[in-house]
Structure 1
Amino acid sequence: MSRICLRNCNGIFAENKVKDAVELFKKLVREKTCEPDEFMYAIVMNGLSKRGHTQKIVSLLRLMEQGKTQPDICIYNIVIDAHCKDGNLDAAINVLNEMKQKDIYPDIVTYTSIIDGLCKFGQWEKATTLFSEMVNIHMYLDLRVFNILIDGLCKEGKVEDARK
């Protein structure tokens, strides 16, 4: 049953009918037609993220928290990335802190999304602080996060900092 529910939501998103997809999803949850798992929430949230509907993503996160299925790192990463794309960096950092309070540890995707957002909006000091946090917890650092940080620092005229 859940695969049929998922296909319906995906099909509606493909037709760019965001409101209809969200309403169908909420109806399925409300009527207990199917019990959505993290994967189903992620599909709907990704569809919303691609269309810039961050507040709807946040409302689905809160709906999820009230149900049996609790958000995992993938769900939080979608929420954080959506906030960063909107330039709502304080909200992204609040979600990061919320995750940590729930003992859900950020991964490379989490940090990269926030560092990217911070660099795009000229907040390189916060970006370097987060990068230092990654180093301090011995997180695997990939080329993408280095490139984002170096690019952000260079755009701010901090070439010497970028070389370090």
Structure 2
Amino acid sequence: MKKLKKSEMLRRGQVEHVKAERNLLAEVDSNCIVKLYCSFQDEEYLYLIMEYLPGGDMMTLLMRKDTLTEDEARFYVGETVLAIESIHKHNYIHRDIKPDNLLLDRNGHMKLSDFGLCKPLDCSTLQEKIFLRQTILVELFKVMDALQPQNVHNRSNYNIGKGTGGCLLILLLELLTILPQRSC
């Protein structure tokens, strides 16, 4: 259960973010996204009743294991891609992909959570969708350049854009190596 104090949401200007989170969770039905069962409110709080995931989060798993095997990292990045694809199909972007927001179910499958920074995309025309995909590809190329062997040893070269592609590859790096966490 996520319990959000209304006065805090107003004070922090988070009403639109919370609405977007609730709307996205109500709209998207995916095995890779935490499920919202219902939402309700009283005078002080808004409540989101969501699926319980007993496996913890990816950050806890990383702290326990230090790094994942290549196969494990490939599996979790693949599930993250599926989750991102699910929300993009509904014209939302997550904007906060990091190990803390990747929850694990009892079978070890990953589910994306915490949509507090998600944003609806206004992709009403095909041109806008094409531009969005091109922007993501540009971010991927920036990341791939930063990951060249001559650049990897110097952590200051991780000044990559904050697109989805960048987040995914940074996540992959976090799963396979012991690098400082980067928020996207």
Shorter-chain TM-score bucket reads: under 0.3
- TM-score (norm: length of structure 1): 0.24
Q: Which has the higher contact order (CA 8 A, sep 6+)?
A: 2
- Higher fraction of strand: 2
TM-score (normalizing by structure 2): 0.22
